[in-house]
Structure formats: structure tokens, C-alpha cells
Amino acid sequence: MGSHWGFLIGLLGAVWMLRSGHSEQQPPETAAQRCFCQVSGYLDDCTCDVETIDKFNNYRLFPRLQKLLESDYFRYYKVNLKRPCPFWNDINQCGRRDCAVKPCQFDEVPDGIKSASYKYSEEANNLIEECEQAERLGAVDESLSEETQKAVLQWTKHDSSDNFCEADDIQSPDAEYVDLLLNPERYTGYKGPDAWKIWNVIYEENCFKPQAIKRPLNPLAAGQGKSEENTFYSWLEGLCVEKRAFYRLISGLHASINVHLSARYLLQDTWLEQKWGHNITEFQQRFDGILTKGEGPRRLKNLYFIYLIELRALSKVVPFFERPDFQLFTGNKVQDAENKMLLLEILHEIKSFPLHFDENSLFAGDKKEANKLKEEFRLHFRNISRIMDCVGCFKCRLWGKLQTQGLGTALKILFSEKLIANMPESGPSYEFHLTRQEIVSLFNAFGRISTSVKELENFRDLLQNIH
């Protein structure tokens, strides 16, 4: 892989190894240090440091993003939670109370959203509809200008070839709207072998890993030999940047989900009330450097990595959202306009972030090789989005699907050639298109990662008080 990237990573990797090797001889650290001391300064694989991200996210982005995600446009997500698992017979745990997802009643969802669930503005909707109809009839409506015909056909066709996710069949009668605010991601009690199976299948069969190399297992499972860990990490370091990035994205997503579950843990459960809050022990079991044999801090670093990837995608797609005909369409004109303003404000804030990840270092190299690799990357990721249909707990399935779709959308943006070729100074490109489904998942997924980064600050404070 070109550039000085590979070199930097190698260097950071070496420093990392040295550091973690030494940590055992040092005096006992505080609980906070054991989770966070290695999670500071510069991050591997990019030129950004943790402190800059924390400040930027926690004070500038997070509050505004929360407000945006509370709006009608972003809170209603249409999803099919009843798709069967394509890989094995799933025994789902839908009986568990905290796993239940309550779908919206039909009249709860604004008409504007329902009528345009896969579209994004009235005008464009009509165009797509006409075109789709024309296509079904075997002809394209000739009253549309040639240019428009092309663009619209591009959207409907190319959309799927660019996609990193299996499109959810939201036209299916099984698909329902879910109010994300009423079904928050939090601890559900779904854990143990069933939950591990999902992550294991993802890491073992879908992350480019040869069978002979063992990934350090969940810390809660039986202890693993140090040598296996070393084999795993030297293998990972030896991978090309893209495959390593893939692993780090998955690990970052996993870490983020676990931060949420630890931050919204079911602390008290009586017939009178349920209380949710921070469970420090749970957090430590997943992220403490010693309890996890060095894994925890790596996971947290990967959380920052996925943050930067999604941040970069958002900054890149700004022109699409700036198009005058783009609306966050719910049917309420005033509200819709205000939301669009808030959205653009957030996006400009993101654009102003000085240390963006450079996606050009991925899939650089030889064109043919790069394309092959990109295709592999895409297939693996699509597969992971299908595995989400195997998650036994509906609540976890909902958030799993939403977050993989959001990450898939971010990757689609980052690697879309249409966006690269056509977006810049020449003005917005009409060849690039995102569906409402993609937009809602993109921002909600980023909202989740942003919340995790913010939660780390809370955990850091909580851990400061114990040893």
C-alpha cells in the first residue's frame, strides 16, 4: 500500500507492543488508568488524537446531534425484524421483556414519512415513481428529459451496486415503523453464548481471518494463552491496511454497543420500578486493560476509529444535503425547513474538524487489485448485515441492523466514485443518491458512536473515584 501510512502504522504498532509488554512491571494503576491510559494521544492508522476528538464531539457535536435525532424525520425507522436468519436456525429470545420492540401504530407516523418512505423530496419522488413504473412497463417515459431519465435510472440501478448492505425489504408487509426514542438501545439481558455466537461468527467467518489464527476470546470466557494473542496481533499488523480497517470497524462497533449496554444497565428491577444507569463493573469487564489482557484499550481505540470513519463520510456527503431540492420531508413545512438548517449546521461543524481520516489511503494501489479488494470488503460487509437477522433479541436486532446499515451507508459514501468524480466545485452531482432509510440510519448510527464517546467521559469520571 502506498504512502507513509503503512510505515506509520508499523511504527505505532511497534510502540504499542513495547508499551503493552512493559505495563506488567509497572506499579499498580488506578481503575481509570487501566481503561484509559493507553487510550490517549495519537491513534493508530490516522493522524488524529483522542483529546481533540473528545473535545470536538462532547461539546460541539453531541448536543446538536441529539436534538436532530429527536425530530420526527430521524426518530421513525422502518425495519423488518421478522426476516429469518439465513445462516442457521435461530432460537430467538423474544420472550424476554427487555428485548421487545414496540412498533408504531399506523397513525403515529407522520403521513409525509409514510408516503415517501424510500424517497427524499416530493419532486424527486414523483420522478422516481414515474421511472419505476416506466421500467416495469419496459420503457422509460419519454416526456422526461433525457438527462433526468438517466439520472433517475442511475439511482434505482446503481444504488444497489454501490451498497455495502443488503437492502432491507422495507416494502414487505412485515416491515414496520419503530420509534427509536421509545425503544432505546440499552441493556436487555441478552448475553452469554447466544450473543457471543453472533460476534464470533462475525469475527471468525467474516473478517478475512484464516481459521488457524485465534482471536483473543471474550474475557468472560476461559483464559487464553498469551502466545495466541501475539499471533493474532502480529497477523493483524501484517494485513493490508484495508482488511485491518475492516476488523477495526467491526471491533469499534462492538465496543460502542458494549459502552451503551454498560451505561444503560438495568440496575434495579422490581415490580415497582426499573432503574437504568452506569454499571462500572460491567464496563471494566469489557474494557479494563488487565481484566481483558490488554484487549480493552484496543477496543476503545477502535471505537475512535469508527468515529473518524463515519465523521469523514458525513463531511464528504455535505454537497448532497446542500442541494436546494433536498428536504427532510415529513410534510410539516416549517419543521422540515428548521431541521434542514440544523442538519446543515451540524454538517458544517463536521466539515470544519481539522483532522479528518484520509480514505484515499484505502484502496489506493494498483487499480485492478484495489477494485478486487473493495469488492471483497463489500461482500463481507453485506454478509454481516445479513447476520443481523440472526440476532435473537429483537431490541438488539433493531439496533444492530440500524447501526450496520448506517456504517454501510458511510462506506458507500466514502468509496462511491460518483461522489468523488462529480461532487466537487462543479456543484452537486445528481448521480449520487441516498434513500430516507439510509439517511436515517447514517445519522442515528453516528449518533450512537457519538454517544459512546461522550459516555467514555462519564465512565472516566466514575472510575476516578475507585481503585
Of 290, 454, 358, the closest CA to residue 43 belongs to 358
Interface with ligand NAG in residues 424-463 (CB under 6 A): none
Does 46 participate in catalysis according to the annotation?
no
Least distance (Å) from ligand NAG to the CB of residue 392? 15
Is residue 59 within the footprint of ligand NAG (CB under 6 A)?
Answer: no
CB closer to ligand NAG out of 286 and 448 = 286
CB closer to ligand NAG out of 191 and 323 = 191
The CB-based long-range contact list for 271-278 (8 Å cut-off, 24+ gap) reads: 276/186, 276/187, 278/458, 278/459, 278/462
Is residue 385 within the footprint of ligand NAG (CB under 6 A)?
Answer: no
Least distance (Å) from ligand NAG to the CB of residue 384? 8
Is residue 379 within the footprint of ligand NAG (CB under 6 A)?
Answer: yes
Which member of 11, 221, 267, 341 binds ligand NAG (CB under 6 A)?
Answer: 267
Q: Which residues are annotated as a binding site for FAD?
A: 186, 188, 199, 251, 254, 286
Is residue 182 within the footprint of ligand NAG (CB under 6 A)?
Answer: no
Is residue 284 within the footprint of ligand NAG (CB under 6 A)?
Answer: no
Among 34-42, 72-80, 363-371, 378-386, which window interacts with ligand NAG (CB under 6 A)?
378-386
CB closer to ligand NAG out of 78 and 397 = 397
Among 69-77, 101-109, 281-289, 395-403, which window interacts with ligand NAG (CB under 6 A)?
281-289
Q: Could you tell me how many residues of this chain bind ligand NAG (CB under 6 A)? A: 13
Does 99 participate in catalysis according to the annotation?
no
CB closer to ligand NAG out of 41 and 192 = 192
Which member of 54, 205, 322, 349 binds ligand NAG (CB under 6 A)?
Answer: 205
Which member of 183, 279, 403, 437 binds ligand NAG (CB under 6 A)?
Answer: 279
Map residues 226-265 to x or -, x wherever contact with ligand NAG holds by CB under 6 A. Answer: ---------------------------------------x
CB closer to ligand NAG out of 100 and 379 = 379
CB closer to ligand NAG out of 23 and 92 = 92
Which member of 231, 383, 422, 458 binds ligand NAG (CB under 6 A)?
Answer: 383
CB closer to ligand NAG out of 201 and 420 = 201
* Marked catalytic residue, from 131, 207, 390, 393: 393
* Cell numbers 429483537: residue: 394
- Interatomic CA distance for residues 99 and 55, integer angstroms: 34
Give the list of residues 6+ apart from residue 60 with CB closer than 8 angstroms, or none. 349
Which member of 10, 87, 156, 417 binds ligand NAG (CB under 6 A)?
Answer: 87
Radius of gyration of the chain, Cα coordinates, nearest whole angstrom: 22
Least distance (Å) from ligand NAG to the CB of residue 254? 16
Is residue 130 within the footprint of ligand NAG (CB under 6 A)?
Answer: no
Catalytic residues: 393, 396
Site residues, ligand NAG (CB under 6 A): 87, 201, 205-206, 265, 267, 279, 281-282, 285, 379-380, 383
